[in-house]
Chain A
């Protein structure tokens, strides 16, 4: 009985995700409609031959009605055919396969850093609200939100690469080739990316912990004579750990966005590099491909969070 209710929640979540996924693909394709003037002429660039314009028109099927264009694009996209670059004519899917691991390595490393630093800071702040520790942590958090990631990256390069010569300033190594070298290259970008994450984790954890620690239930535990540390660990953290899931999935979305600029600082050939070059050269299949794959990653992750959430938290039904 209990099991079947859980699984029906999961099925319902899956069904709810479908309209979001469909609408997202519609937005990705609809980007093309924002191109001013004749899309084929604009995308072909200056001094393009008529044959080239006709070719682009054919790629997008621009002479057909919009919904038919969208349908055929979506059909090809779900079968892994994201068309090919208008500049290098490399298949967009293989570009993404080449670039995505670099981006994911930085994002995952940044996420681990954000949790490893943010969680202790949040606990320290919440266990004594209003203290010096608390205001120190909250100041760090405000700075972490306001500092431009790429500027932090530049500062890190100036200090750790140029002054101390500890870590490489730019470039990346595929993790499949040399694990430790890949990590060495990813440390500074991950630190730059993690600043906002540390702030977000510390803040969220602090506010939900403070709320729980000031609740009636916890006051009763104090009255019963339990040690404050055991109240914090057993009752406080157990209750807020579920909230952390939501923060993680939100952070993932933000970090995927922020990594685009951080990659530019560290000259990492990741997804950011791909989409920025695509946007500058109006290489639209590449731009659409990157946005499409990123939104797919985010939606999948959100779904996974929702499912985990409903499994972990018995109150959700």
Chain B
């Protein structure tokens, strides 16, 4: 009975907490709404886009904005709005894939290095340093060249390149957490190393990781756009925002307005990811509240 009472009491307070954050941090809230709409639109792409992204209308090649084609059409007469929506699906999928790979590699490596310390930490840290001295996109291009060209391979490469950043962050945080009393007591109770890492260390390192992951999503989005622009990412006839820009660039002298929709889409989405990351950093870090 007391449990139910607590649950009922806890619920409105969480909602009102959210509402308070919403009002106090308008920029973060707008970013969150924008990104949510984007994700929903991407998921519903087949139902909301006016045309198929591959359907060609040869009467409309490089058409300007009109009632039939709200954002015009590309050089093959494909509807720009439809390609923008489908391209968003590809670009978002690519960003999440890259960051997922980065988490999958970076978090365990950082945990192990920080928790075990000693020569293991020394070796892993030097490897992280080495990876960080590569210009990111250049290494991603090289890895894509090795794995083979394509959106999935390209974003796995970006994930591999981003992983050391996360690993370094998790390592630094783990170094602090591993000497906390609750970790020592878990060890005294005979918990295995993997259980300590999973149940006690990881939950306490997660906050800065969430912030960094949000910022990395912006980086991954820009990386996808770069790789696809260079022809190393998504392959024709499929659309992503970067690939649309490459197409628009080839026809820039005839129809310069084609380069605005995908470019603005990338800019706003990257801005939103960055703003959301900054908001979370402030919200999660009590020492920054005073500013």
| Alpha-carbon gap, A31 to B229, bound state (A) | 23
Which residues does chain B contribute within 8 Å of A150, judged by CB atoms?
225-226, 229, 245
Interface residue A84 (Cβ < 8 Å from any Cβ of B): no
Q: Which of B60-68, B81-89, B136-144 is the interface stretch? A: B136-144
Interface residue B253 (Cβ < 8 Å from any Cβ of A): yes
Interface residue A147 (Cβ < 8 Å from any Cβ of B): yes
Within the complex, which residue of A20, A35, A256 is in contact with B130, where a contact is CB–CB below 8 Å? A20
Interface residue A172 (Cβ < 8 Å from any Cβ of B): no
Which residues does chain A contribute within 8 Å of B137, judged by CB atoms?
257-258, 260-261
Interface residue A221 (Cβ < 8 Å from any Cβ of B): no
Interface residue B180 (Cβ < 8 Å from any Cβ of A): no
Within the complex, which residue of B143, B231, B274 is in contact with A145, where a contact is CB–CB below 8 Å? B274
Q: Are B274 and A287 in contact (CB under 8 A)?
A: no
Q: Are A253 and B142 in contact (CB under 8 A)?
A: no
Q: A24-B133, A148-B226 are in contact. Are A34 and B138 (CB under 8 A)?
A: no
Interface residue B259 (Cβ < 8 Å from any Cβ of A): yes
Interface residue A68 (Cβ < 8 Å from any Cβ of B): no
Contact code string B220-231 (vs A, CB < 8 Å = 1, else 0)? 001001100111
Interface residue B169 (Cβ < 8 Å from any Cβ of A): no
| Residue total for A at the interface (Cβ-Cβ under 8 A) | 50
Which residues does chain A contribute within 8 Å of B146, judged by CB atoms?
31-32, 34-35, 284, 287
Interface residue B186 (Cβ < 8 Å from any Cβ of A): no
Which residues does chain B contribute within 8 Å of A27, judged by CB atoms?
130-131, 134
Q: Are A151 and B256 in contact (CB under 8 A)?
A: no
Q: A162-B252, A258-B137 are in contact. Are A279 and B149 (CB under 8 A)?
A: yes
Interface residue A223 (Cβ < 8 Å from any Cβ of B): no
Q: Which residue of B lies closest to A22 (CB)?
A: B130
Tell me which residues from 125 to 155 in chain A have a Cβ below 8 Å from any Cβ of chain B. 142-143, 145-148, 150-151, 154-155
Within the complex, which residue of A19, A154, A256 is in contact with B249, where a contact is CB–CB below 8 Å? A154
| Alpha-carbon gap, A241 to B252, bound state (A) | 42
Contact code string A91-130 (vs B, CB < 8 Å = 1, else 0)? 0000000000000000000000000000000000000000
Which residues of A approach B to under 8 Å, CB–CB?
Answer: 19-20, 23-24, 26-28, 31-32, 34-36, 142-143, 145-148, 150-151, 154-155, 157-158, 162, 253-254, 256-258, 260-261, 264-265, 275-276, 278-280, 282, 284, 287-288, 290-291, 294-295, 298-299, 302
What 11 new A-B contacts, CB under 8 Å, besides A146-B218, A279-B144?
A: A20-B126, A23-B126, A24-B130, A34-B143, A142-B271, A151-B259, A261-B226, A276-B141, A276-B231, A291-B138, A291-B139
